[in-house]
């Protein structure tokens, strides 16, 4: 029997990227059953095999071609320095790698770090940052709980991932420099064969449709006809808004798509222009 080609994707086995990675694949219409506590699983309705791995190992597996593609944070990708292709930013797992110092330490720019001991799990990225700024400091690589290092006398300052800033605050630290802004990205092996490339293209088409949809809302509103022109002028649209007459004369129903960034501003402007009965509906997929 001929083996059917599948695309092998590496995702984090458990941790901060796991749920969003699996959710994204499911939103792409890819059936994944029994993903809990499995090392790998094959989709029944899309030629995709999923490997569940530690995030640190994903760049290497993709570079070596053990997996064809992978989902990993840019922080891990930058640190590992593996030769893989960045295919798409995925918009989740957002954080930054920052330098943080004890909150009562004076800070006068990057040169303040000269001669300091820096605790981090990202020695390569920190070393690059320091040499770019001509600063010499000693780097102490530790694999977890970096934020406690200054408090126990292991280091003077830290370079760690930050999202809300709560962990730094609780440990009496303040953020002073951003080394890298990061989010989860899709990476691929540099030498995918044609068949696997074709599957990747299909997957990417779906991922982009889901991303677009997640960033947009479908809005339905009622508009008095004498305000219609003004209301329409406020709206963007895939082409232009849909306008339908309402049963009550003098009124129309207007349908359009709004992006998340402009959403609240637009709603306020629409209300001010006389729009009523505004309904906002999530969009599942958006195909252009």
Binds Zn ion by CB under 5 A, chosen from 30, 32, 53, 55: 55
* Beta-carbon count within 10 A of 68 CB: 25
Least distance from ligand PRT to the Cβ atom of residue 137, Å? 20
93 binds, among Zn ion, ligand PRT, none (CB under 5 to 8 A by kind): ligand PRT
Least distance from ligand PRT to the Cβ atom of residue 180, Å? 10
Contact 225, 243 (CB under 8 A): no
CB nearer to ligand PRT: pick between 12 and 209: 12
Is 178 one of the binding residues for ligand PRT (CB under 6 A)?
no
- How is residue 125 written in tokens? 């990225």
- How is residue 155 written in tokens? 């280091």
Is 180 one of the binding residues for ligand PRT (CB under 6 A)?
no
Is 73 one of the binding residues for ligand PRT (CB under 6 A)?
yes
Task: Choose the stretch contacting ligand PRT; rule: CB under 6 A; options: 14-22, 108-116, 205-213, 233-241.
Answer: 14-22
Is 166 one of the binding residues for ligand PRT (CB under 6 A)?
yes
Name which of 55, 73, 34, 63 is nearest 192 in CA terms: 63
Tell me whether residue 226 is exposed, middle or buried, using C-beta atoms within 10 angstroms of its C-beta: 0 to 12, 13 to 18, 19 or more. exposed
Q: In what order do the strands lie in the sheet with 69-73?
A: 40-42, 48-53, 7-12, 69-73, 184-188, 85-89
Is 162 one of the binding residues for ligand PRT (CB under 6 A)?
yes
Chain residues binding ligand PRT by CB under 6 A are 12, 15-17, 54-56, 73, 75-76, 93, 95, 160-167, 182
């Amino acid at each position: 029997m001929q083996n059917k080609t599948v695309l092998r994707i590496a995702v984090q086995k458990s941790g901060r990227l796991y749920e969003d990675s699996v959710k994204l694949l499911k939103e792409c219409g890819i059936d994944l059953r029994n993903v809990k506590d499995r090392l790998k699983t094959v989709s029944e309705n899309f030629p995709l095999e999923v490997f569940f791995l530690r995030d640190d190992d994903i760049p290497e597996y993709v570079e070596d071609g053990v997996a064809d593609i992978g989902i990993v944070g840019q922080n891990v990708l930058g640190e590992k320095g593996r030769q893989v292709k960045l295919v798409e930013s995925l918009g989740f797992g957002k954080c930054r790698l920052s330098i943080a110092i004890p909150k009562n330490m004076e800070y006068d720019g990057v040169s303040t770090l000269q001669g300091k001991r820096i605790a981090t799990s990202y020695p390569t990225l920190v070393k690059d940052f320091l040499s770019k700024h001509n600063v010499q400091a000693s780097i102490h690589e530790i694999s977890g709980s970096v934020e406690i290092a200054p408090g126990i006398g292991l280091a003077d300052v830290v370079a760690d991932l930050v999202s809300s800033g709560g962990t730094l605050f609780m440990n009496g630290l303040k953020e002073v420099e951003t080394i890298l802004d990061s989010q989860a990205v899709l990476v691929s092996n540099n030498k995918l064969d044609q068949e696997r490339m074709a599957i990747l293209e299909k997957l990417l088409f779906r991922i982009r449709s889901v991303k677009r949809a997640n960033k947009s809302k479908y809005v339905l509103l009622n508009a008095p006809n004498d305000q219609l022109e003004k209301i329409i002028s406020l709206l963007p649209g895939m082409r232009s808004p849909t306008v339908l007459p309402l049963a009550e004369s003098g009124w129309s129903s207007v349908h359009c798509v709004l992006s998340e960034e402009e959403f609240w501003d637009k709603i306020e402007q629409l209300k001010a222009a006389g729009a009523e009965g505004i309904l906002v509906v999530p969009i599942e997929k958006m195909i252009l």
